Amino acid sequence: MAGTRSPSPRSLSDGSFRPVMVGGCVAAFVMVLSPLVAIVWISFFENKIISFPPTGYTLDWYRAAAAMPQFRDGFVTSLKLGVVATLVSLIAGVPAALVLARGRFPGREAIQSLLLAPLIVPGIVAGAALYMFLIEVELASGVQVAMTFWGLALAHSLIALPWTVRLVTASLVGLDPQLKEAALTMGARPLTAFRLVTWPLIRPGVVAGALFAFIASFVDLEKSLFLVGPGVTTLPIVIVNYLEWSIDPTIAAVATVQIAVISAGLVLTDRYFKLARAF
Amino acid sequence: MSNILIRDLIKRHGALVTVDRVSLEIGQGEFIAFLGPSGCGKTTTLRMIAGLTPASAGSIHFGTREVTHLPPYLRDAGLVFQGYALFPHMSVAENVAFGLQMRKVDREEARRRVDEVLSLVKLAHLAGRLPKELSGGQQQRVALARAIVYKPEVLLLDEPLSALDAQLRTEVRTELKRLQSALGLTTIFVTHDQDEALSVADRIVVMSAGRVEQVGTPREIYQRPATRFVAEFIGRTNLFPGGLDGPGRFRSESGERFAFGNADAPSNASALAIRPEHVSLQRGAPAPGGACTLEATVEDVIYRGALTEVVVRTASGARLAAHLHNADSGRDDLRPGDPVVASWPADAPMLF
């Protein structure tokens, strides 16, 4: 390549920029990871008043958290909500993505925007709007929906839906529409063609969409704030409530469990589907 | 295998007619090429035969069975796509077995037929590979194997060679022709490449703007084009717009006079065409009594290996190309500016 070097400005891949890039990456990782590491670390501290360095290490805080009904119930509620929201987002999102990917038709852009809108509207605004809507429904029908599990489930389905749509759509982008046509000409009925050809090829995207939808629901705070009620409170809200009155490593233990659930989800997702492809 | 009958097939997209009253009868085991420029409706016609695009009007029969309104999976056609459309998550053998699986052929029998067809296309050793681990030519052969393994009533090929490089293309088309005649497959081959169509097809259907311009053997299409479009689309042609100037005489718009001997020339002919290989060039004065001649000046001499293309220009400015075989005589003696006489056999001009 001697003599063919172009006179263009030095690119980012040029060796001289390497230290800057590495430094930037390290700084970003430290910023993102240090609070997480700190929380996990603190959850094992012996002292009740969080101080540094710790006098010793213990698992007591995990036991204490597990013994507190509000954390247990919050965890279970969040898990159940996550599962319901994921199922709803799959049932609505997968067919929607299949239709959206098929091509141009009137209203396509509008439908796509609508399905992705929950990502854009600030959670607190959507939560408040949903709360008012549910109250109106209650007034009209006499059935309580706000501050019930199913009211929350509706909100969480909205949180989950854009993720399923987005990730399944991404997995369909690289899918050659002629594959289905090939299957049809070889004698496969449409459902068989879907089962044997389309489905195996989009499955990683669907799995990733489902896991991401679950995580989005599991960590949500804002949309749920107005909608929780006695007996139906999500884990993030229980954590916030507890923090109002006391700060001790119990909360770090709860947060660590939450982090573990989410990390497991993310790692699992990435194994099926490179997340970078969806954005 | 059966004959295919297409009658008055029409495809409309709103007001736009992309396939306009195509009618065609294809004999059992016949190799037909749909040839035309892109957008002429040849692929749409093929897709209507496969059942992937619904016909707006007309009918399609496979043998005595009308398939016009049947979905693709009930038609029993084999289709090779331009991009092959191999299933990326299935091995070569699984891809090929797909059509048999859909026909509920039992496992042992299916395996035997997959092996058989894979050795036919010389891919038996790659049966376990995934499509992405194959070269373009190998993928092409898997696509073909997959379409013929269940012995479809008709084999449809949509520009199957266009993704291959030039040398492979010639090889594969020879192989394709060999397989097709060995298996007696009724075949429709869509292409925009006239060399491909001329070299493989029993009959060629030349299409333009949704209509069939001519149906004929490669020889008929080339030697006796039915329309001006066919004459210009197939091979090189010297075309002169103009009109008849008495029996056996044609006068071009630029004023050249041509004599011709074809008895079947239409009386309202508006153009005369001569293939470059029918034109010969002599130095000096016109041959005595040779009516089929033009005096001209050499404008350009292009050496093209097997032949030399000489472009001459008449006094009125019309250009005429001549293809001179380099085996016949050394034609490197012609230079731009040389005066020559162009002549042709009386039956060479074609009139439209």
| pLDDT tens digits along B68-110 | 999 999 999 999 998 899 999 999 999 999 999 999 999 999 9
Does 3.40.50.720 match the CATH number of domain B236-351? no
> Residues 162-181, chain A: which have Cβ within 8 Å of B?
176, 178-179, 181
Sheet with B4-13, strands from edge to edge, namely B16-26, B4-13, B57-62, B65-66
For the segment B287-308, the average pLDDT, to the nearest whole number, is: 79
Q: Does B168 touch chain A (CB under 8 A)?
A: no
Question: pLDDT tens for residues B340-352?
Answer: 888 888 888 888 8
Strand partners for B13: B16
Does A257 share its domain with A225?
yes
Say yes or no: A186 contacts chain B, CB-CB below 8 A.
Answer: yes
Contact between B257 and B245 (Cβ < 8 Å): yes
pLDDT of residue B287: 59
Residue A10 domain-assigned (yes or no): no
Concatenated DSSP letters of B29-98: T-EEEEE-STTSSHHHHHHHHHTSS--SEEEEEETTEE-TTS-GGGT-EEEE-TT----TTS-HHHHHHH
In a domain, A43, yes or no: yes
CA distance B238 to B322: 9
Give B-chain residues touching A187 at CB under 8 angstroms: 73, 76, 99, 102-103, 150
Q: Do residue A205 and residue A257 come from a single domain? A: yes
| Same-domain status, A145 and A250 | yes
A141 and A45 in a single domain? The answer is: no
> Where residue B152 falls among pLDDT bands split at 50, 70, 90?
very high
Examine the domain organization and report whether A104 and A151 are in the same domain.
Answer: yes
Instruction: Using CA coordinates, name the residue in chain B closest to A177.
Output: B85
Nearest CA in chain A to B71: A184
Nearest CB to A184 within list B73, B86, B147: B73
Dist. CA A94–CA A51, nearest whole Å: 49
- d(CA A20, CA A26) in angstroms, rounded, equals 10
Two tokens, residue A276: 């970078």
Split into its structural domains, chain A has a count of 2
Is B132 within 8 Å of chain A by CB?
A: no
- How far apart are alpha carbons B68 and B109 in whole angstroms? 31
Same domain for A124 and A51 = no
Instruction: Give me the tens of pLDDT residue by residue for chain A, a chain 279 residues long.
Output: 344 444 445 555 556 778 888 999 999 999 999 989 988 988 888 887 777 787 888 888 888 888 888 888 888 999 999 999 999 999 999 999 988 887 778 888 888 888 888 888 888 888 888 889 888 988 988 888 878 888 889 889 988 999 999 888 888 887 888 999 999 999 999 999 999 999 888 888 888 889 889 988 988 888 888 888 777 888 888 888 888 888 888 888 988 988 898 888 888 777 766 655 554
- Give one DSSP letter per residue of B164-195, joined into a string: S-HHHHHHHHHHHHHHHHHHT--EEEEES-HH
CB B270 within 8 A of CB B243: yes
| C-alpha R_g of chain B | 25
The reply to whether B85 touches chain A by the CB within 8 Å rule is yes
Is residue A139 domain-resident?
yes
Question: Is A198:A180 a contact under the CB 8 Å cutoff?
Answer: yes
* B314 DSSP β-pair partners: B296
Report chain A residues whose CB lies below 8 A from the CB of B48: none
| Other Cβ atoms closer than 10 A to B38 | 8
Spatial contact of B270 and B352, defined as CB atoms under 8 Å apart:
yes
Q: Is A64 exposed, middle or buried (0-12, 13-18, 19+ CB in 10 A)?
A: middle
State the nearest Cα–Cα gap between A201 and chain B, in angstroms: 7
CB contact under 8 A, B78 and A184: no
Burial class, A204, CB count within 10 angstroms (exposed 0-12 / middle 13-18 / buried 19+): middle
Q: Measure Cα distances from A208 to A14, A102, A170, A172 in Å.
A: 35, 21, 11, 13
Structure tokens at B49: 């035969």
Q: Where in chain B is the domain with CATH 2.40.50.100?
A: 236-351
Q: Is B34 on the interface with A (CB under 8 A)?
A: no
Decide: helix, strand or coil at residue A28: helix
- The amino acid at residue B333 is D
Q: What is the 3-state secondary structure (H, E, C) of B206-232?
A: EEECCEEEEEECHHHHHHCCCCHHHHH
Adjacent-strand bridge partners of B341: B282, B295
Q: Is residue A12 part of a domain?
A: no
CB-CB under 8 Å, A186 with B99: yes
Mean pLDDT within B147-171: 88
B103-131 core/surface letters (b: 16 or more CB in 10 A; e: else):
eebeeeebeebbeebbebbebeebbeebb
Is the CB of A192 inside 8 Å of chain B's CB atoms?
A: yes
Q: For residues A122 and A31, state if they share a domain.
A: no
Which residues of chain B have a CB within 8 Å of the CB of A200?
A: 89
Chain B partners of A196 at a C-beta cutoff of 8 Å?
98
Collect all residues of chain A within an 8 Å Cβ-Cβ radius of residue B50: 185
ipTM score assigned to the predicted complex: 0.85
A69 and A54: one domain?
Answer: no
Same-domain pairing of A201 and A125: yes
Residues A121 and A253 both lie in one domain = yes
- Tokens 């091979």 -> residue: B235
Q: Residue A185 is nearest to which of B79, B83, B87, comparing CB atoms?
A: B79
pLDDT in tens, A269-279: 777 666 555 54
Give me the phi and psi of B285, to 5 degrees please: -75, 155
| B194 close to B234: Cβ distance less than 8 angstroms | yes
Q: What is the pLDDT of residue A157?
A: 92
- CATH code of the domain containing A145: 1.10.3720.10
Per-residue pLDDT tens for B160-210?
888 788 888 888 888 888 889 888 999 999 999 998 999 999 999 999 999
Which domain, by its residues, includes A43?
17-58
B-chain residues near A179 (CB < 8 A): 85, 87-88
- In a mutational test of the A interface, the residue from B81, B130, B139 whose CB has the highest number of chain A CBs within 10 Å is B81
Query: A212 in a domain, yes or no?
Result: yes
Report residue A165 CA to chain centroid gap. Answer: 13
C-alpha to C-alpha distances, B315 to A131, B250, B311, nearest whole angstrom: 90, 17, 13
Q: Is the same domain home to A37 and A138?
A: no
Same domain, A30 and A82: no
At B305, the pLDDT band (50, 70, 90 cuts) reads: confident
At residue B109, the 3 state secondary structure works out as helix
Domain over B4-227 is classified CATH 3.40.190.10: no
